[in-house]
Amino acid sequence: MNVMSPHDLRTMEHGARVRVGGRVRAQPHGRWQIADAFDTVAVVAESSLKEGCLVIVEGRWDGECIDEAVVVDVSEPMADQFHESARLLDRGVGWALQRRATILGVIRNYFENQGFIEVETPVRVPCPGMDLHLDAFDSGPAALITSPEYQMKRLLAGGIPKLFQLVHCFRDDEQGDLHNSEFTMLEWYRAFAGIEEMIRDTEGLIEHVARQVTGKATVRWRGRELDVSAPFERISVLQAFARHALLDRDEVLRLASAEEDTYFGLLVEKVEPALAASAHAVVLYDFPSVHASLARRRVDDPMVCERFEVYVGGVELCNGFGELTDATEQRMRLERDQQTRRIAGKRVYPIDERFVRSLEEGMPSAGGNALGVDRLVALCLGARSIGDVMAFPDSWLW
C-alpha cells in the first residue's frame, strides 16, 4: 500500500483503508493531527506520540479522520521547534506555493495556445546589461542575468517568431515587500509586432490568470478590489506628469535628460501614487527616449519611445517595448550607457557583441515584455509580500 499525504486524502472514497504519512501536530481529546505543508487530518488511535514526530499510520478514512489507526512507523526528530513546517502550514506558504504552481501552468498554457515556444537561456553571461539602475551580481568573469533579453533577441533574430521564458533573474538592488535579489521573470517576444500587440498580450494574460485563480477579472490586494479586465486604462508619461505633477512636455523631457533624480523623484512621489489610486489596471506608456536603451523611438515623436509599464493597485508588474532593431543605434546607446555607468562609479560591463551582430544580421521588428511573476502571484493570491509566495525569499535564506 502506497503512503499518502494528508493532502491526498481529499481524493479518497469514504471507508477506504489508507496509509498516511506526516508530522504529528497536536493530540487533543485522544486524537492526533498529522500534517503536510497543505492540510491536517485527525487520527483516532490508542497510542500517544510526541508533537513533531514523523509518523506513518494505517487506518480507515471516514471522510473526516483516520479511524482505527495503527502506527506503522515513527521517527522522533532531534529538534523541538519546527520552523520549516510552521512556515509552510501555519503561515499558508505551502498553500501559496501550490497555487503558484497552478499559475505557472496557466501562464505556460496561455502562450502555448497562441503558438509560442518556451525557451531556456543561460543565467550566467558575459554581459548582463547596461541599465544604470540595474546592478548585476558578479560570477567570476561573468555575471548573473538581470534579464534574458539579449539571448532571447538572438533567438528572435535566428528565426523563432514567438517565444517565451520563465526564468530566474538576479538584481543587486533594494529589498522589501516587492523586491527580492533572486526572482522569477516571465519574458516574451513577438516578431513583426510592436507595443500595441504587447499591451494586448499583457492585458489578456493578466485577466486570464486572475480568472483562473479567483474566478473573475478582479484581484483583492491589501484590502482593495482591483479590476484587471481588458482593456486597461491608459495614460502616457507626459499626460501623467501634466495631470499629477503640473509639468508641461518640454519640462518633463528636460528633467528626464538633464535632471534624472528630479524626474524619478516626481515619478515616485506624484505619478505612481496617482496610478495606485485607480481601481483598474493602468498602462503607462510613451516614456522619454533617454530612459529606454533597448526600445525604438516613436516614428511620429522621436523624443518618446515605444515603452510601457502596467500598474495594478500601484504595483508595477511589467516593462514592455517595441524593440529597437537598428544595430548602429543600439551600439551607440550601449556605448552611452557604458559612459553613464562609468561616471556613476558603477561596474562597466562589456558590450555583448554577439547580440549586436544578431541585429546586424537582421532582427525582425518585434515587441517584447518582461513581467514579474512573483508580483503577479502575490496580487492574485492577496499576499502582502512576494516573500509569502516564494519557497525561499532572501529573508528565509540568510
Q: Where are the beta strands (DSSP E) in 27-141?
A: 31-35, 40-44, 54-61, 65-75, 117-118, 124-125, 138-139
Contact 52, 22 (CB under 8 A): no
Biggest alpha carbon–alpha carbon distance for the chain: 80
Which residues are 118's β-sheet partners? Answer: 164
* Residue 243: pLDDT over 80: yes
Q: Are residues 103 and 164 in the same domain?
A: yes
Q: Give the end of a domain, one of 88, 119, 134.
A: 88
Supply φ then ψ for residue 311, to 5 degrees.
-115, 135
Instruction: Compute the C-alpha angle 142/123/198, nearest 5°.
Output: 125
The tally of domains found in the chain comes to 2
pLDDT attached to residue 256: 96
Domain range for residue 378? Answer: 92-232+280-396
The string of pLDDT tens digits covering residues 289-314 is 998 889 999 999 999 999 999 999 99
pLDDT at 71: 92
Q: Is 185 helix (H, G, I), strand (E, B) or coil?
A: strand
Residue 344 CA to residue 91 CA, distance in Å, equals: 42
114 and 77 within one domain = no
Q: Which residues pair with 319 in a beta bridge?
A: 309, 370
Alpha-carbon distance of 335 to 331, in angstroms, equals 6
Could you tell me which of 258, 266, 259, 262 has the C-alpha nearest to residue 237?
Answer: 266
Question: In sequence order, which ranges of 259-310 are alpha helices (DSSP H)?
Answer: 260-266, 272-277
Q: What is the mean pLDDT of the chain?
A: 94
For 125-145, what is the mean pLDDT? 88
Q: Does residue 230 have a pLDDT over 80?
A: yes
In this prediction, residue 45 carries a pLDDT of 82
Residue 327 in contact with residue 355, Cβ under 8 Å?
A: no
243 within domain boundaries: no
> What CATH number does the domain containing 53 carry?
2.40.50.140
% of the chain exceeding 90 in pLDDT: 81
Closest CA to 76 of 112, 44, 52: 52
CATH classification at residue 298 = 3.30.930.10
* 114 and 167 share one domain: yes
Say if residue 198's pLDDT is above 80: yes
Q: Which of 23-32, 254-263, 297-306, 321-330 comes out lowest in average pLDDT?
A: 23-32
Q: Is the same domain home to 172 and 213?
A: yes
Tell me: pLDDT of 17 over 90: yes
Spatial distance between the Cα atoms of 392 and 178, rounded to a whole number of angstroms: 14
Alpha carbon distance 357, 37 (integer Å): 49
348, part of any domain: yes
Answer whether residue 28 shows pLDDT above 70: no
Q: Kindly state whether residues 143 and 227 are assigned to the same domain.
A: yes
